[in-house]
Amino acid sequence: MAHSSGRDALPEAVLPTAGEERAPAGADPEKRRRILEAAVRTFGRRGFHEARIAEIAAAAKVAEGTVYLYFRNKEDLLGVVFDESMDGVLEKGRALARSKAPAGERLTALVDLHLQFIGSDRDLASVFQIELRRSARLVERFSRSKLVEYFRLLGDVLRDGIARGEFRRSLDPRLAVRVLFGAADEILSEWLLSGERKPIADAKQLVGTLLRGFAAPGGSLKVTERRRRKPQ
């Protein structure tokens, strides 16, 4: 998943929708699927800026002009990859967040969804962890509204856990969401760049570490601020 731009929300009505009004008469869903799959492989292995529509068309076994029947350009194609992938993730995420399970279990399930989605395919991981982040404009256009919804799902579970007494009342949900996402994101980036067979931690390990904290059982871990010295 790409990073957000820092602003929490933007009405979806003002966001350009990738791939809109691009279903030609007599469209072939199978060709469109092959083009999207070929785009993921090509962007993931060649990089977005280096990839060419002709390469994607060849990998999808269609004519180059056919790609333009379904997508306006290369950026539109990348946007559809992001949008449709995230639509599937968010649909599953909503169901997980609405379940009756304890908040800790739901939180673990949502983080597992993130790790499994990106960590199951290195080409897709390269698209999400590297290619979408190379351009601030692409991040701004394609990631904000859907990433914000994922953050909202995490935040809702955290707030519910606080209300039920499962999490401490002083927990800041906004900060906790960013800690969870940032940790999962770093685990995925490290896995992708290191070439390791699998990430160093799964969702149960990650969420468990954050919920238990760093303190030893029965220990007393004090965090103090260092006083600033007054200038002489």
CATH number at residue 64: 1.10.10.60
Q: Which two tokens stand for residue 31?
A: 């060709």
55 & 154 share domain: no
Residue 222's pLDDT band, with cuts at 50, 70 and 90, is: low
Is the same domain home to 45 and 123? no
> Are 28 and 106 members of one domain?
no
**pLDDT for position 8:** 35
Q: What integer is the mean pLDDT of 99-126?
A: 95
Q: Is residue 5 part of a domain?
A: no
Classify 47 in phi/psi space as left (phi over 0), alpha (psi -120 to 50) or beta.
left
Q: Residue 168 class from Cβ within 10 Å (0-12 exposed, 13-18 middle, 19+ buried)?
A: exposed
pTM of the predicted structure, to 2 decimals: 0.80
Count up the domains in the chain and report the number. 2
pLDDT score, position 213: 84
**Any idea what the Cα angle at residue 185 is, between residues 183 and 191, rounded to 5°?**
105
Give the pLDDT confidence of 158-205 residue by residue, as tens digits: 999 999 999 999 999 999 999 999 999 999 999 999 988 889 999 999
